[in-house]
Amino acid sequence: MFAFLVRRISQAVFVMLVISLLGFSIRHQIGDPVRDLVGVSVSVAEREALRDELGLNDPFHVQYLRFLKGLLKGDLGQSFFFKKPALDVILAKMPATLELVFCAGVIIVVFSVPLGMYAAIRPKSFFSRLIMGGSIVGVSIPVFLTAILLIYLFSVILGWLPSYGRGELVMVGGWQTGMLTADGWLHLILPSIALSSIMLPLFIRLIRSEMMEVLETEYIRFAHAKGLSKVRVWLVHGFRNTLLPVITVGGVQIGTMIAFTILTETVFQWHGMGFMFLEAVQRADTSLLVAYLMVVGFLFVVVNTLVDILYGIVNPKVRVSGRQ
């Protein structure tokens, strides 16, 4: 297990290096830190002097190493628009996004596991056909359309749920949370559903197809032949084997979730990282964009590493080969 961990973590570090190189190249090519610092109303000569002073005329690799050093210290550059360190801007927006992703994740897990398993166990029943039909519809409607339809139905027509913003927030430590007030929860409902609207049907379909394959195996037949109850065969023997491929695919899909937060947050005026990203694009705030890329890349790598470790815990074969 230890060797397995070391291998996984060194892979994660390598991926982070690649992402940082990418981020730096973007900033190197597109960004203009001088403009970020002094605006546009300063003479060319003065700018050139400033460039020298900031080391912007140094060779690429020297600048990249400096950038890396900054990264390690948590210095992701200065946001041109906010006039603050980019990391601070992002960290302030992060709780909003994380809470949204968390709620969407809970919805996905809570619904996809029982529905996917049911559809696998009783593939021909009416309810299974309904689930599968519904999941096709769910996958094929774009997130922003789902979001707009949800707002139209639950906010405009029925007036049950708020249509934008995070509602009443409470500050806990440095974390601005909407999960401690009733109003905050009400505001979370529609965006979370919208964000899960693609992944949920995808996971239902994935769990169903994997589970159906597992149910055909000899060890399931043997479990029945041992006289175990059906429920035990499905849950203990079937589901745990279904989990392995689901975890693998699920880890990859988390990246896609991040893209969907940009859409969801925009439609619901949800002031998180995705919303900030689009604003930064409009304002050409290159440093902030690069910082966003780095932070999201970092989150993605951390989550994927955790997923791999989880896979190792579920799959005994990985554990053993890691031990050797």
Partner 1 sequence: MNHLLEIRDLEVRFALRSGDLTAIDRIGFTLEKGERMGLVGESGAGKSVTGFSILNLISKPGYIAGGSIFFRGKDLAALSPEEMRSVRGNRISMIFQDPMMTLNPVMTIGDQMTESLMAHRKISRASAEALAVEKLQAVHIPSPEARLRQYPHEFSGGMRQRIVIAIALLTDPDLIIADEPTTALDVTIQAEIMDLLLELCTLKDMAMILITHDLGVVSQVTEKIAVMYAGKIVETGSTENIVARPQHPYTQGLIRALPGSREPGSRLYQIPGSMPNLSAIPKGCAFHPRCERAEEVCRREVPELLKRGTFQRLVACHLVGV
Q: Which residues bind partner 1 (CB under 8 A)?
A: 217-219, 221-229, 232, 236-237, 240-241, 244, 314-317, 320
- CB of residue 226 to partner 1, shortest distance in Å: 4
Rg of the chain's alpha carbons, rounded to an integer? 24
Nearest one of 273, 309, 268 to 288, comparing CA atoms? 273
Identify the three-state secondary structure at position 55. Answer: coil
Rounded Cα gap, residues 4 and 125, in angstroms: 43
Residues 6+ apart with CB under 8 A from 225: none
Q: How far is the CB of 147 from partner 1 (least distance, A)?
A: 39
Q: How far apart are CA 308 and CA 239, in angstroms?
A: 18
How many Cβ atoms from other residues are within 10 Å of residue 236's Cβ?
A: 13
What is the spatial distance between Cα 110 and Cα 152, in angstroms, rounded to a whole number?
Answer: 25
Whose Cβ is closer to partner 1: residue 62's or residue 320's?
320
Of the candidates 109, 116, 96, the residue with the CA atom closest to the CA atom of residue 179: 96
Q: Is 124 helix (H, G, I), strand (E, B) or coil?
A: coil
CB of residue 247 to partner 1, shortest distance in Å? 12
| Nearer CB in complex with partner 1: 239/292 | 239
Q: 248 or 266: whose CB is closer to partner 1?
A: 248
- Give 84 or 240: the residue with its C-beta nearer to partner 1: 240
For the bound state, the minimum distance from the C-beta of residue 153 to partner 1, rounded and expressed in Å, comes to 41
Q: In the complex with partner 1, which residue's Cβ is closer, 27 or 237?
A: 237
**In sequence order, which residues have a C-beta less than 8 Å from that of residue 130 and are 6 or more positions away?**
none
Q: 242 or 305, CB closer to partner 1? A: 242
**Residue with Cβ nearer partner 1 (155 or 315):** 315
- Closest CB 225 distance from partner 1, rounded Å: 4
Report in angstroms how near the CB of residue 232 gets to partner 1 at its nearest.
7
What is the nearest approach in angstroms of partner 1 to the Cβ of residue 254?
23
**Burial class of residue 274 (count of CB atoms within 10 Å of its CB; 0-12, 13-18, 19+):** buried
* Sign of the C-alpha dihedral computed for residues 322, 113, 201 and 108 taken in this order: negative
CB of 192 to partner 1, least distance (A): 32
**Three-state SS for 16?**
helix
CB–CB of 229/293 below 8 Å? no
- In the complex with partner 1, the residue whose CB is nearer, 72 or 218, is 218
**Residue 197 burial (10 A CB sphere; 0-12, 13-18, 19+):** buried
d(CA 319, CA 4): 8
